[in-house]
Structure 1
Amino acid sequence: MAFYQSIAPWYDQIFPASPMQVKFTAQQLSDLTQKTLLDIGCGTGNLSLLLADAGAQVTGIDLDSEMVKMAQSKAQGRAGLRFQVADMLQISKLFEPQSLDAVVCFGNTLVHLLRSGDILSFFNQSATLLKQGGHLLIQIINYDYVLDEGLDGLPTIENDHIRFERRYEFREQDEMINFKTHLTVKSTKQIIRNSVPLHPIRRDFLKMLLQESGFESIRFFGGFDGSELSERSMPLVISAQKR
């Protein structure tokens, strides 16, 4: 995807590794040791690396070949960790049924699927690959909050290296959102502008699709710290178990 190819060299500075995501995953699975995980939308591999460090056997997939190359370079010589270019709508071709302990899909990856039928397909394939009682863990933006309040974007990410501005443009014709970004590389003054459509799916509809795919014990959180979801929570974190 051109959107991510253009920001790949600065991806780690925009989205650094998050130990809180690993802690949340470990809490949901009770323990990560020897658990088999699939990391959807792995980017440059930061989460996969941390999960592997915690004892899991991890496969990370992403559509962007440049970011997968970066992830593979980080994983050289590491056992129990691999990365490959793959489509999240084709995961049933990558693994045997009932072979995974968890499918992890963080970083607002899910809403790049613009059709509800594709989201349902992803949930169905995840359910097929998960062992009984296995977990599907998801993090997106809380689009109930975005849509109900008419928010025009997300907080700007800024550090010593980059400034990453994020804006929303609502599309009334198909109820999608254009996600517009403005990346400034401070060392070179380079500016990279992008736009990509997103599917602002609401919580209740997500719950319905998860139930249709055979998931239960569906829980919603307001962050990776396990906090209660509120109307004004910006993140929406989901934990669901296969029946």
Structure 2
Amino acid sequence: MQHTLIAASGASLVALRWWAMGFASPIFQPEDNPAAFINSTLQRAINYQYIYTLNSWLMVNPHWLCFDWSMGCIPLINEITDPRVLAPLLFWLITGLLIWRALHPTHKGCHLSRDQRVIMLSLAWVIIPFLPASNLFFTVGFVIAERMLYLPSLGCATLVALGFRRLLSAASASQFLRLVLYGCLSWMLGMYSLKTWERSGEWVSENRLFLSGLRVCPLNAKVHYNIAKTAADSGDGDTAILHYQMALRSSFIDFDYTD
């Protein structure tokens, strides 16, 4: 009964959202999600895999954070010789090894161990919440949306914790190695904490947020436009003109702002 109620509630919310949208799919432009508008199925698939890889990397190393990833922020992979093609291969190799480790019993005929169940649950936390942003079932209006990584980050953190516990177990005979591992863990937690503090500071004002986006996505026309508009509002005409010109350069995707 409880599962039926949850399913009915979910279906009602979907129907309400569909009704609010006029029973029509949203219309996106190429600058919103360039990879979705590639004609070649192979090239589109390669670019999607690269975007999946970047999302995974952001969970492990959230160094590149930007308020907007559209409008040329991530150049498309147009050639199979592009070295970025190697990144998805490594991504799927690691993912495949994790799945194999989760599904392959340690001993023949034995049930899955606790660690294997943890890996399966962690992968489920990573994969299932990310599916709506994967472009598999429907086209989304963004390239990368960091908000879509909140729930998958839980699974990623669980995998990291499991890996650390396994390393501690392997180093149980050496007190020195255990101290080194704890030191590495403390350093990692410290770096993540500093990054959180730094990123929170970038959201204090529009200007700091837009400038932080410029460091990550210098090809993003929207970033340049927002910096220019903020500069114009504050009376900095030279900076406004510079970034308006950067936003309108022919190398950027054409876009139109009417407000």
Smaller-chain TM-score bracket: under 0.3
More helix as a share of residues: 2
Q: Which entry has the higher C-alpha Rg, 1 or 2?
A: 2
TM-score (norm 2): 0.21
More strand as a share of residues: 1
